[in-house]
Structure 1
Amino acid sequence: MTPKELVLALFTAAFVEHDPEAAGQLVTPDYIQHNPQVPTGAEGLLGLIPLVEQSGMTVTTHRVITEGDLVVLHNTYENADAFGASSLAAFDVFRVKDGKVAEHWDNLQPIPDTTVSGRGMTDGATEITDLDQSQANKELVLGFVRDVLAGAAPENVANYMDPEVYMQHNPMIDDGLDGLMAAVEAFAAQGQAITKFEPQFAVAEGNFVFVATDAIMGGQPWAFFDLWRVEDGKIVEHWDVVSPIPEEMAHENGKF
Structure 2
Amino acid sequence: MTSATTVTTALHRLFGDRDPGVIDDLFGPVYRQHSALGVDGLAGVRALLDHLPPGFGYELLRVVADGDLVVTHGLYRGYGPAPVVGFDVWRVRNGRIVEHWDALGPLGGAGPDDRAPVEGPTAPAELEQSDANRALVREWAEVVLRDGAGAAARFVGDASVDHARGGAPVDRPRGADGTPIRYRVVHQVIAEGDLVFTRSEGGDAAPLIVNDLWRVEGGRIVEHWGLVVPVPATLPHDNGAF
Normalised by the length of structure 2, the TM-score is 0.91
Contact preservation (8 Å) 2:117, 2:166: no
CA 208–109 in structure 1, closer or farther in 2 if over 3 Å, else same: same
Other structure's SS at 1:10 match? helix
Alignment of 1:57-76 (within 5 A): 57-76=56-75
> Partner residue of 1:200?
187
Aligned residues, how many?
A: 240
Other structure's SS at 1:136 match? helix
- Which of 172, 197, 202 does residue 215 from structure 1 map onto? 202
TM-superposed CA distance for 1:152, in Å, is: 3.1
Contact preservation (8 Å) 1:226, 1:239: yes
Distance 1:252 1:227 in 2: 27
Which one-letter code corresponds to 1:242 in the other structure? V
Distance 2:206 2:143 in 1: 22
RMSD: 2.2
TM-superposed CA distance for 1:134, in Å, is: 0.4
- Which of 135, 149, 152 does residue 157 from structure 1 map onto? 152
- Which of 222, 230, 238 does residue 224 from structure 2 map onto? 238
Structure (1 or 2) with the greater helix fraction: 1
Deviations 1:39-89 (A, max 9, x none): 01011011111221x4221111111110101111110112222xxx63101
TM-superposed CA distance for 1:129, in Å, is: 1.4
Deviations 1:97-118 (A, max 9, x none): 1221100111111123418xx9
Other structure's SS at 2:63 match? strand
> Partner residue of 1:34?
34
- Which of 85, 92, 105 does residue 109 from structure 1 map onto? 105
- Which of 126, 140, 155 does residue 136 from structure 2 map onto? 140
Deviations 1:8-60 (A, max 9, x none): 111111111101122322111321111113101011011111221x4221111
Which one-letter code corresponds to 1:10 in the other structure? A
Other structure's SS at 1:166 match? strand
Other structure's SS at 1:121 match? helix
> Partner residue of 1:254?
240
> Partner residue of 2:169?
176
Distance 1:208 1:88 in 2: 22
Other structure's SS at 2:118 match? coil
CA 233–86 in structure 1, closer or farther in 2 if over 3 Å, else same: same
Deviations 1:150-187 (A, max 9, x none): 24314x2122113x4220111x465125xx36957953
Other structure's SS at 2:117 match? coil
> Partner residue of 2:161?
167
Distance 2:18 2:93 in 1: 23
Contact preservation (8 Å) 2:117, 2:163: yes
Which consecutive residues of structure 2, in runs of 5 or more, have no partner in the other structure? none
User: Is residue 95 of structure 2 the alignment partner of residue 99 of structure 1?
Assistant: yes
Distance 1:169 1:186 in 2: 17
Which consecutive residues of structure 1, in runs of 5 or more, have no partner in the other structure? none
Normalised by the length of structure 1, the TM-score is 0.86
CA 183–99 in structure 1, closer or farther in 2 if over 3 Å, else same: closer
Dislocated runs of 4+, deviation >6 Å: none
CA 24–182 in structure 1, closer or farther in 2 if over 3 Å, else same: closer
> Partner residue of 1:125?
121
Q: What is the aligned-residue identity percentage?
A: 32
Distance 1:182 1:30 in 2: 35
